[in-house]
Structure 1
Amino acid sequence: MKDWLKGDSLRNGFLFRVACDEGESWLMSDIIGFSKWLSIDQSLIPIPISKDKKKPEYIELNFSFKPSLYLMQKLATCSTNVSLRERLIPKAYAKKGPEYNSTLLPFIRDIWNVEEAALNSYSLRKAVERIQRFSI
C-alpha cells in the first residue's frame, strides 16, 4: 500500500479489502441466487472448499480457472436465458461479453444475497465483518 501511495499517508477511515480472485467469485458465492438468476442448475457452480488444512474455515468456491472466465465459458453457455447468454458470452476476439458488466448490475442490486454468499466465501465474510465494524 505504501508503494502505491508514493509517500502519502493513509487517511483515517481508509479501509482496503481484496476479493479472493475476483469480484465474480463473491457474486457466485450466492449459489442459489446466482443459479436462479442465470437460469442454470446450481450444481454447475463449484462447491466451496478450504484449501488450507490448518484453517478449514477459509473456504472459497473451488474454481478450476479464473472466475470471470468460468462464468462466461462454463456457466453462461449453459443458461436457458438467451438474453443473458448473448450479453455475457464474448463475441469473436473479445475478452468479455458485449454487456458483461451492465448485465451483472441488476443481479448485484436486486438479487444478490450477501449474507448467503458470505457463508460460502471466507474473504467476503471477513470483508462484511470489517465493514460492519468500520461503520459503527
Structure 2
Amino acid sequence: MSKAPINANGITKLIRSLPRYVQQAEHVQPVLCIADTDHKCAVDLISEWLPYAHTDRFLFRLAVSEAESWLLSDGEAFAAFLGVPVANLPRRPDDLPDAKREVLRLASRSRVRLIRQEVVSPFDSNKPGTGYNTHLCGFVRQHWRAPHAAAKSASLSRAVKRLAEFGAAHE
C-alpha cells in the first residue's frame, strides 16, 4: 500500500509525530522519514529524536545539511527546471551553509516568471513563497534523478543505498 507523502510542516511537528510514524511502520506499512540536519551531527540528532528501539520497517534519513542540497546535486535537471544557467549551480551542494537560501537565490533569477513569483516570497526574498513546496515536489516527481544527484552528494548516496536495501527487505 502506497500513501502520498506527508509534509509535517517543520521539524518540531515531525519530531512530535515520530512515535506515530514508528507505530504505523510496525502495524500498517513501511515508513520513510527524511529531515534536515541543519549542520548538526546526524548521529546525535537520531539518538535525541529516536531514543527508543523501532521496527526495521521504519527508515529515518537525514539530509546534510538540507534536503535542498539533494535537489541542487542534480545540477543539469534542476537548472533546466528553474530556468537558470547550469553554471550558476554550486559544484558541491552538501557544503553550502544554507542550501534553501541558494535555491531561493536561483529561483529569484529564473527566466520562468511562475518560478520567480511562487517559489520566492514577494515580501522577503530569503523566504519561500506559497508555491515553494508545490514546485519543488513537482520537480522531484517529474525530473529529479536521484542516482545522478547521489554522485555529487555523499549524504544522498548513503540514503539511496540504504533505501534500496530497505526496499529489497520489504518487497
TM range (shorter): 0.7 to 0.9
State how far apart, in whole Å, the 1-side matches of 2:61 and 2:121 are: 29
Cα deviation, 1:33-72, whole Å, max 9, x if unaligned, reads 0001111001111112xxxxxxxxxxx5442x31111111
The residue number in structure 2 matching 1:72 is 104
Deviation at 1:10, TM superposition (A): 1.5
The residue number in structure 2 matching 1:19 is 63
Number of residue pairs matched by the alignment: 122
Q: TM-score if structure 1 supplies the norm length?
A: 0.80
Higher relative CO (Cα under 8 Å, sequence separation at least 6) belongs to 1
State how far apart, in whole Å, the 1-side matches of 2:47 and 2:70 are: 27
State how far apart, in whole Å, the 1-side matches of 2:94 and 2:86 are: 13
Q: Which 5+ residue runs of structure 1 have no aligned equivalent?
A: 49-59
Structure 1 residue runs of 4+, over 4 Å off?
none
Alignment partner of 2:64: what SS? coil
1:116 aligns with one of 142, 145, 148: 148
Deviation at 1:22, TM superposition (A): 0.8
The residue number in structure 1 matching 2:53 is 9
State how far apart, in whole Å, the 2-side matches of 1:46 and 1:87 are: 22
Alignment partner of 1:16: what SS? strand
Matched, 1:85 2:85: no
Q: Which 5+ residue runs of structure 2 have no aligned equivalent?
A: 1-45
Deviation at 1:96, TM superposition (A): 1.4
The residue number in structure 1 matching 2:26 is none
The residue number in structure 1 matching 2:83 is 39
Q: What CA RMSD, in Å, does the superposition of the two structures yield over aligned residues?
A: 1.9
The share of aligned pairs that are identical, in percent, is 31
State how far apart, in whole Å, the 1-side matches of 2:65 and 2:48 are: 22
Q: TM-score if structure 2 supplies the norm length?
A: 0.65
Deviation at 1:17, TM superposition (A): 1.5
